[in-house]
Amino acid sequence: MIIDTLANAELYAGLGDRFQTAFRWLRETDLASLEKGKHSIEGDRIFAIVNEYDTIPAEGEQMESHRKHIDVQYIVSGEEQVGHDMLRSQQVSRPYDDNDDFMLYADRPSFYTKLAAGDFAIFYPTDLHMPNLISGKSVPVRKIVIKIATDKK
């Protein structure tokens, strides 16, 4: 996983063309006026999901992972805590769903990071994450999640 600010995105050009495309889209798009929902960037290989929500307590939440996509989670406004951990031998609480590219883990995160406006986190398939959490008090958040295909079937 990588956690940084969009101002430093050029440091990650070596991750490949898809990451360069995703970061360019984040820099060049009016993110505040995008409608909520899914937006194609490069077909099914790179797309963005615009979310708006109020942050929630960590109690009752679980970490998630994906197999087919890498998440680039970018905070447009607000702030949140994100629980995260490396995939080891955590207990799966919801088996992988191929249609939703999603599975859940019952274990608690080992780490928590506060993300604020301008920050991003990259979560690879081996990076468990629990987003949308309260950082101090519940606040509204606008977040863009860019999904980058891993080309794994």
The domains of the chain are located at 2-149
- Tracing tokens 């606040």 back to the chain, one arrives at 139
Q: Is the pTM of this model over 0.85?
A: yes
Angle at alpha carbon of residue 106, lines to 105 and 108, rounded to 5°: 100
Burial code of 31-48, b = ≥16 C-beta within 10 A, e = fewer? beeeeeeeeebeeebbbb
- What would the pLDDT profile of 42-60 be if each residue is shown by its tens digit? 998 999 999 999 999 999 9
- What would the pLDDT profile of 76-121 be if each residue is shown by its tens digit? 999 999 999 999 999 999 999 999 999 999 999 999 999 999 999 9
CATH 2.60.120.370 fits 2-149, yes or no: yes
- How many angstroms separate the CA atoms of 75 and 31, rounded? 10
- How many angstroms separate the CA atoms of 90 and 105, rounded? 6
- How many angstroms separate the CA atoms of 119 and 4, rounded? 6
